[in-house]
Amino acid sequence: MLGELGNRIADMGAQGVAVFFVISGYSVASSYVASNSYWDYINKRLWRIAPLYFFWIGVATLTGLTAIYWQSQFNTTINTYNIFMHLAFLSFLDYKIANSVLGVEWSIPIEVFWYFLIPFWMSLIQTRKQMVVSILGSIFFYIMLIKFSRLLPLPSIDAELVVKWSPFPYAMSFCLGIVVFRLRNLNINFSKWGDFTLVTVTLTTGLFVMYANLKFGYLFFSLITFVIILFGSRKAFLYRCIFTNKIVVYLGTISYGIYLCHLSLLAIFARFNLISNDGSWRTFMVLSICAILVSSLTYFLVELPFQKLGKVFYILTSSSTRPYV
C-alpha cells in the first residue's frame, strides 16, 4: 500500500534486534551492579530467560510447529543434537540449526553468551576514555566482521548468517548499553534535553528510513537507541507520555513472550486456515491480539513462578563472592 516506502519500513523491522541488544546491555549492566554477587546476577538472568524459552521450544517440538523454512533451507531436522544445542544455549555454534525451531530463537543464545561476559567487560569500561575507546573499537570490530563474512568459503547467504547468528557482531550493541549505563550514573543532567532529543531522533529516523542506505541500519538503530536511553527521563514530557504509560510498560513486560510465540501462533493459524498469511492489517491485528493474550498467560503462569523459584534456588546455592564490579 505504501510502495517503496512501505518496503523500506518493513526492512527496518529486522533492525529491532539492534534496539533490543542495546537495551539489554543497559539492563544487564544495571542488573549486575544491583546484584550481591556474580552468581546472584547470573542466576537472576538465567531464570528470567530460560523457562519461557524452554517452554516454547518444547511446545513447538511436541506439536510440530517448528520453523520448516529454515529446516528446508539447510536440510536439518529436529533431532536430539538440535534440541540439546538449543537447551544448552549453544545453537549459535551451528548456523544451520540456530533458527530451526521457533524461527526467531537465534538471538536468545547470543544474549545468554553476553550475560556471562558483561561483568568482565564492565570492569574495562569505567573511565570516559575507556568508554570512547570501547565504542569506537566495537564499531570497527562490527564493520570488519561484516566484511569478513564475504571471505568465508560458503554461499553468500550462508556466510552472512554465520556471522549474523553469532554473538560477535552484537558486541557493539552490548557495548553501547554498558557505556550508556555508565554515563547515566555520572553527575550530568541529560534529562533537560530529553524532549528535544526525542523529536530530533524521530525526524532523523524518518529521513534515514526514506533515503539512507539500509545496509547501515543496524549501526544507525544501535546508536539511536543509545541516544534515546542516554537522554531518557521521566522529567521529559514526551518521554513520560510515550515510554511510561501503563500500556507501553505492560507490553514491555510481556514482550519476551510475544517475541517467542508469534511465529508459532502464525503456524497454528496457517495449519487450521484460521486467517490468511497475506501480510494484511487484519492478519497483523489478529496475530498481535492473540500474541498479547498468550504472552500474558505465559507471563503469569511460566515467567513469574519460575523467577520466584530462581530466588529460592539462589538462597539455597548462594555465596558471598563478588569478584567483579
In a domain, 78, yes or no: yes
CB 107 within 8 A of CB 263: no
Structure-block grid coordinates of residue 203: 525526524
In a domain, 188, yes or no: yes
Task: Give the dihedral of Cα atoms 108, 111, 117, 123; nearest 10 deg.
Answer: -160
10 Å Cβ neighbour count for 46? 16
Structure-block grid coordinates of residue 257: 513472550
10 Å Cβ neighbour count for 228? 20
In a domain, 173, yes or no: yes
Instruction: Locate all alpha helices (DSSP H) within 156-216, ordered by sequence.
Output: 156-164, 171-184, 194-211
Using CA atoms, how far residue 153 sits from 91, 162, 166, 269, in Å, is: 21, 11, 17, 39
Look at residue 324 and tell me whether its pLDDT is greater than 50.
no
Total H helices, total E strands in the chain: 16, 0
Please tell me the distance from the alpha carbon of residue 243 to that of residue 202, in angstroms, as a whole number: 14
pLDDT in tens, 105-136: 999 999 999 999 999 999 999 999 999 999 99
In this prediction, residues 232-252 reach a mean pLDDT of: 87
Look at residue 96 and tell me whether its pLDDT is greater than 90.
yes
**pTM surpassing 0.75?**
yes
In a domain, 292, yes or no: yes
CB 268 within 8 A of CB 274: yes
Structure-block grid coordinates of residue 205: 529516523
In a domain, 161, yes or no: yes
In a domain, 106, yes or no: yes
In a domain, 322, yes or no: no
Question: Confidence band (pLDDT; 50, 70, 90) for 267?
Answer: confident
Spatial CB neighbours of 243, under 8 Å, sequence gap ≥ 6: 232
Asked which of 200-209, 216-225, 312-321 is least confident by mean pLDDT, the reply is 312-321
10 Å Cβ neighbour count for 108? 24
Question: Confidence band (pLDDT; 50, 70, 90) for 29?
Answer: very high
Model pLDDT, residue 318: 79
Model pLDDT, residue 9: 64
CA angle 219–209–13, rounded 5-degree value: 70
Greatest Cα pair distance, the chain, in angstroms, is 59
Model pLDDT, residue 308: 96
Cα of 122 vs its chain's centroid, Å: 19
Model pLDDT, residue 284: 83
Look at residue 11 and tell me whether its pLDDT is greater than 70.
no
Look at residue 89 and tell me whether its pLDDT is greater than 50.
yes
Question: Confidence band (pLDDT; 50, 70, 90) for 8?
Answer: low
CB 149 within 8 A of CB 166: no
Model pLDDT, residue 292: 97
In this prediction, residues 46-59 reach a mean pLDDT of: 97
In a domain, 324, yes or no: no
- Domain with 9 in it: 3-317
In this prediction, residues 309-319 reach a mean pLDDT of: 88
What Rg, from alpha-carbon coordinates, does the chain have?
Answer: 20
* Overall domain count for the chain: 1
CB 159 within 8 A of CB 150: yes
- Higher-confidence residue of 240 and 175: namely 175
- Higher-confidence residue of 7 and 154: namely 154
Structure-block grid coordinates of residue 303: 515467567
Look at residue 190 and tell me whether its pLDDT is greater than 50.
yes
Look at residue 7 and tell me whether its pLDDT is greater than 90.
no
Query: At 101, which helix (H) or strand (E)?
Result: none
Please tell me the distance from the alpha carbon of residue 93 to that of residue 73, in angstroms, as a whole number: 17
In this prediction, residues 191-204 reach a mean pLDDT of: 85
> CA nearest 205: which of 18, 79, 39?
18
In this prediction, residues 67-71 reach a mean pLDDT of: 88
Look at residue 12 and tell me whether its pLDDT is greater than 70.
no
Average pLDDT, the chain: 88
Structure-block grid coordinates of residue 248: 507501553
Listed ranges 48-57, 66-75, 315-324; the one with the highest mean pLDDT: 48-57
Model pLDDT, residue 115: 97
Structure-block grid coordinates of residue 144: 570488519
Please tell me the distance from the alpha carbon of residue 299 to that of residue 195, in angstroms, as a whole number: 32
